[in-house]
Amino acid sequence: MIGYIKGTVSYLGENYILLDNHGIGYRIFIPAGYQESGLRVGDEARLYTYLNVREDALTLFGFLSQDDLEMFRMMLNVSGLGPKGALGILSVLSADDLRFAVLSDDAKAIAKAPGVGQKTAQKLILELKDKLRLEDAFEKKLEHQQASEEKKDTAAPGGGAEADAIQALVALGYSNTEAFRAVHKVEISADMDSEAVLKAALKYIM
């Protein structure tokens, strides 16, 4: 019904956003990871949406990419997994990481999502594995990496220090998601090098 909504971010809640579109504020539930993706109040944003229809409520779920929305829709076909559970999974795993988790039978990674237990994670793997191809997963991962590199090339000063700090955290044993979130919590100034960013990020993790 609604493919996407484009507007100004007027409020960021714990798991939802208010997006102002021509004076109408749409309340849209989003993955928790989007809070650390650079989304800020006052920014222009485009969210690809899914409208969940129930007898007592109409709920919008929104995603920054069509790929995230595609994985969300796919998870809704898993028996016993509703929109909130699917959103919880995309809050701890990117679409790329989720595809690889399914294809590698990594139920433990999926079960880290709030409200998703080991049995539900195993059921998700069972029902989605035949719908995913390893070749497609690698192709999409490569596309996203290339887009990320292009974004870094046009980023403001400090982008290189951020990338180096994330790589250092991963080398220390933290997951990509943990490293990304920690670094993006740091208020990075122009005079901070990668070592300074790393130290500040470690404080958030500890």
CATH number of 4-63: 2.40.50.140
Q: Cβ(58)–Cβ(65) under 8 Å? A: no
The CA-atom distances, in angstroms, between 95 and each of 92, 160, 204 are: 10, 24, 25
CB 81 within 8 A of CB 124: yes
Give the residue with greater pLDDT, 39 vs 197.
Answer: 197
Q: In terms of CATH architecture, what is 155-205?
A: Orthogonal Bundle (1.10)
Segment 91-129, tens digit of pLDDT:
999 899 999 999 989 999 999 998 888 999 999 999 998
36 close to 185: Cβ distance less than 8 angstroms: yes
Q: pLDDT > 70: what percent of the chain?
A: 90
- Tell me the per-residue pLDDT of 126-175, one tens digit each, with 9 for 90 and over: 999 889 888 777 787 777 777 666 555 444 444 577 778 888 888 888 87
Please report the DSSP string for 140-196 in residue order. Answer: HHHHHHHHHHHHHHTSPTTHHHHHHHHHHHHHTT--HHHHHHHHTTS---TT--HHH
Q: What is residue 8's predicted lDDT score, i.e. its pLDDT?
A: 95
Contact 108, 122 (CB under 8 A): no
The mean pLDDT value of the chain amounts to 85
Which class for 51: exposed (0-12), middle (13-18), buried (19 or more C-beta within 10 A)?
Answer: exposed
Reading the block at residue 120, the tokens are: 């539900």
Domain boundaries along the sequence of the chain = 4-63, 67-136, 155-205
Q: Decide if 4-63 and 155-205 have a common fold.
A: no
Q: What percent of the chain has pLDDT over 90?
A: 42
Q: Tell me which DSSP letter residue 31 carries.
A: -
Architecture of domain 67-136: Orthogonal Bundle (1.10)
In the prediction, which pLDDT does 157 show? 41
Instruction: Write b or e for each residue in 58-84: b if 16 or more Cβ atoms lie within 10 A of its Cβ, otherwise e.
Output: eebbbbbeebbbebbebbeebeebebe
